[in-house]
Amino acid sequence: MLRYRITVEYDGTPFVGWQRQANGLSVQGALEAAILKLTGAEASVRGAGRTDAGVHAYGQVAHFDLPRAVPTDTIRDGLNAHLRPHPIAVLDAAPAAADFDARFRAVARHYLYRVLDRRAPAVLDRMRVWHVTRPLDLAAMGEGARALIGRHDFSTFRAAECQAKSPVKTLDRLDVERVGDEVWFSASAPSFLHSQVRSMVGTLVKVGTGAWPASAVGNALAARDRTRCGPLAPPHGLYLMRVDYPPAAPAAPSPHRRRPAPAPTSGRGP
C-alpha cells in the first residue's frame, strides 16, 4: 500500500462535518467516494481536524492509502473532477511516508474565527461570519484572551461530548484584531478540545459587548466548569487555516489569501 497526503479546502455549510456519519453527507465521505470513482479502490481518509457541521477549511490535511501508485497531479485533478458539485477542493497531493498520520503527526493547528460587528446584516458573507449587531471592544477582548494563553485545564471551554482523554491543553496563541468591519480571532495550539475555539470566542464576544468584564474570562477558566462558559459561537464563522508537521513529515502550504474569500454564490472539532 502507498500512502498519499492531500490538502483540502471546503465550505462546511452543506456537510454534517468532517467525519463520516449516518445522518448526512460528510467531507470525509465525499472524498472517499471520489477516491473510489477515480481509482476503483476503497480508501479510508483520515483528517488532521474533525471539524463540526458548518465549519470551513482552507488547509485541512488528510491521508489515505492506495494499492498502486497514482501520479499526484492525477490524484488532485481527478478528485476535484469527481467531487463536483460539492464545495470541496483538493489543493495539492503528495506521496507520504508509510508512518505519516495527518492527525497524530500534527504539531500545530491554526484556526480563524470571523465576527462581523455592524448593524447591517451579512449578505455576501452569509454563513461565513458570525453577525453581531453591537460594536465589540477590542481592548477588552484582547485582555480576556491573554488569560487563556498557556497550558491550562480548559474544562470550562470543552463540549460535553468531547472524547479527549484530558482537558489540559496548551494554547499558544489567541490574537484579536480588527480587519475592516470584522473582528478576527486567531488561535493556535498543538491540539484543541471539542468546541474549544467556539467556546472561547463566544465568551470573548460577551466581554466585547460589555456584558462581562475582561476579568470574567480568567475566572471562568479557573472554575473548570462548563456552565461558567459564555455562549457557543456558531460554527459558520470558524475556519481551519493550516496544520503544521515536523520537518520530516509533509507540511501543508500556507493559504495565499490574507482575507478569506467568500464562497461561490452557486453554491467534530474546535
Per-residue pLDDT tens, the chain, 270 aa: give them.
999 999 999 999 999 999 998 899 999 999 999 999 999 999 999 999 999 999 999 999 999 999 999 999 999 999 999 999 999 999 999 999 999 999 999 999 999 999 999 999 999 999 999 999 999 999 999 999 999 999 999 999 998 888 788 999 999 999 999 999 999 999 999 999 999 999 999 999 999 999 999 999 999 999 999 999 999 999 999 999 999 999 865 545 544 445 554 444 333 567
CA distance 41 to 214: 53
Residue-level pLDDT at 27: 98
Question: Quick check: is 52 catalytic?
Answer: yes
| Second CATH level (architecture) for the domain 110-239 | 2-Layer Sandwich (3.30)
Which residue among the candidates 11, 52, 117, 244 is catalytic per the annotation? 52
Whose cell is 461561490? That residue is 264
The residues, ordered by sequence, that sit 6+ positions from 68 with a Cβ below 8 Å of its Cβ are 2, 39, 41
Distance between first and last Cα of the chain: 32
- The structure's pTM equals 0.90
Task: Please report how the helices 27-39 and 72-83 are oriented relative to each other, as an axis angle in degrees rounded to 10.
Answer: 120
Residue-level pLDDT at 152: 97
> Hey, which CATH number is domain 2-105, 2.40.50.100, 3.30.70.580, 1.10.10.10, 3.30.70.2190?
3.30.70.580
